[in-house]
A = this chain, B = another copy of it.
Amino acid sequence: MTSTAPDSRSADRIPTPTVPAPDVLRCASMELVVTDLARSRDFYADVLGLVVTEEDDDAVYLRTFEEFIHHNLVLRRGPVAAAAAFSYRVRSPQDLDRAVAFYEELGCRVERRAAGSTRGIGDSVRVEDPLGFPYEFFHEVEHVERLAWRYDLYTPGALVRLDHFNQVTPDVPRAVAYMEDLGFRVTEDIEDADGTVYAAWMRRKPTVHDTAMTGGDGPRMHHIAFATHEKHNIIAICDKLGALRMSDRIERGPGRHGVSNAFYLYLRDPDGHRIEIYTQDYYTGDPDNPLVTWDVHDNQRRDWWGNPVVPSWYTEASLVLDLDGNPKPVVARTDSSEMEVTIGADGFSYTRPSDDELPSWKQGEYKLGHQL
């Protein structure tokens, strides 16, 4: 990895609004449409142990152990599995007005929603952003008990914070430039020698990210990530899924990321929505926090141990909804595909840049994956 700034301006860039961006505090919640609410509730509440703050016939509101706002996840019953809102908390009620102005200047569809449209949340603004994602902004929120000290309720794999979102979009530099206008900073990215950007991680709170942009056919939701305290908590989740004969919910990992340096696990929920469990990235809050750029051919970038990435992780993602609740059409990526350039016949990967080839046990889908 190196530490140079990417050129995050693409030809087809989204103009920078003249008005100030809303002051985003952090990623705060995601609304997922699920096709079998009871089954999804079982997965998130009984299997993963998220805490149900409130629920009704159509939705379940869940939070993590260290959260004091009403929820970090909304499961809403619907006909098509999709992500309905990437919800960010902003610093003040005035930031909602700023969000309206910001997105209106961008020509986006913008809706104000009155307090209570989502339980526990005050007035909010929903937009279809320039990339096609349903973003939500809110400030007012119902406070609930922060369960941090409630060790009588902890499970071995207790999820303590919502950490980040991850979005799939065809043109990563275009997405990054827009997100920088929205006040986000890039902490890490994946590039190649030709300057193609395959993914970028961006933050508001001082962690590696509040959201990441992953290059691919989009707009789609790649995953939502919850944090645990320690690595054994993540292992405990795997062990429990094994005991429940639900190990096929485990898609990838556990492992150590190169990017972010965090320990990770990827699960797929009953609708196929991807969940990451994540722990121990680093502080990024200084304005000159060094950008870390990874070579797309470095096979330790996605897994520090060089373990292969399962092809589904590259290719599958959730639809996102427009403000009417209809799935957004997916636009194909035209830039090089990260999976193809690292797995396919024309690609190569390395552990050490000078090496010719990986041993047989590390080739995994690198050689085979493109056949899938």
- Chain B residues in 8 Å Cβ range of A311: 360-361
- Alpha-carbon separation in the docked complex, A69 to B239 (Å): 23
- Chain B residues in 8 Å Cβ range of A92: 287
| Complex interface: stretch among A165-173, A214-222, A300-308 | A300-308
CB of A361 within 8 A of CB of B312, answer: yes
A285 within 8 A of B: yes
Given A248-B362, A361-B313, A285 contacting B154 (CB threshold 8 A): no
| Complex interface: stretch among A52-60, A103-111, A251-259, A324-332 | A251-259
The residues in A between 317 and 367 inclusive whose CB is less than 8 angstroms from any CB of B are 351-352, 355, 358-362, 364-365
- Chain B residues in 8 Å Cβ range of A242: 149, 151, 256, 258, 300, 304-306
CB of B290 within 8 A of CB of A243, answer: no
Given A231-B232, A239-B256, A256-B235, A161 contacting B368 (CB threshold 8 A): no
Within the complex, the shortest CB–CB distance from A16 to chain B, in Å, comes to 21
The A contact surface, by secondary structure, is loop
Q: CB-CB contacts of A45-74 with B at 8 A, as 1s and 0s?
A: 000000000000000000000101100000
Given A247-B305, A268-B361, A306-B248, A240 contacting B151 (CB threshold 8 A): yes
- Chain B residues in 8 Å Cβ range of A313: 361
Given A156-B155, A261-B149, A268-B359, A161 contacting B307 (CB threshold 8 A): no
Which residue of the partner chain B has the closest CB to A26? B285
- Alpha-carbon separation in the docked complex, A91 to B107 (Å): 33
A152 within 8 A of B: yes
A75 within 8 A of B: no
- Residues of A in contact, count (CB < 8 Å): 84
- Copies of this polypeptide in the complex: 4
CB of B238 within 8 A of CB of A66, answer: no
- Alpha-carbon separation in the docked complex, A152 to B236 (Å): 9
- Alpha-carbon separation in the docked complex, A151 to B239 (Å): 6
A241 within 8 A of B: yes
Which residue of the partner chain B has the closest CB to A360? B312
- Chain B residues in 8 Å Cβ range of A247: 299-300, 304-306, 351, 362
Within the complex, the shortest CB–CB distance from A233 to chain B, in Å, comes to 9
A-B complex: 5 closest residue pairs judged by Cβ atoms:
A247-B306, A151-B239, A242-B304, A151-B243, A152-B243
- Chain A interface (Cβ < 8 Å from any Cβ of B): 1, 25-26, 66, 68-69, 89, 91-92, 143, 146, 148-156, 158, 160-161, 205-206, 229-232, 235-236, 238-248, 250-252, 254, 256, 258, 261, 263, 268, 280, 282-283, 285-290, 299-300, 304-307, 310-313, 316, 351-352, 355, 358-362, 364-365, 368, 371-372
23 A-B residue pairings within 8 Å (CB atoms): A66-B282, A92-B287, A143-B290, A151-B240, A155-B155, A161-B283, A230-B231, A239-B305, A241-B305, A242-B256, A242-B300, A242-B304, A245-B300, A245-B352, A248-B359, A250-B307, A250-B362, A251-B359, A268-B359, A310-B361, A311-B360, A364-B364, A364-B365
Extra pairs beyond A310-B361, A368-B372 (9, CB < 8 Å): A68-B286, A152-B244, A230-B231, A231-B232, A239-B256, A248-B355, A248-B362, A250-B362, A316-B360
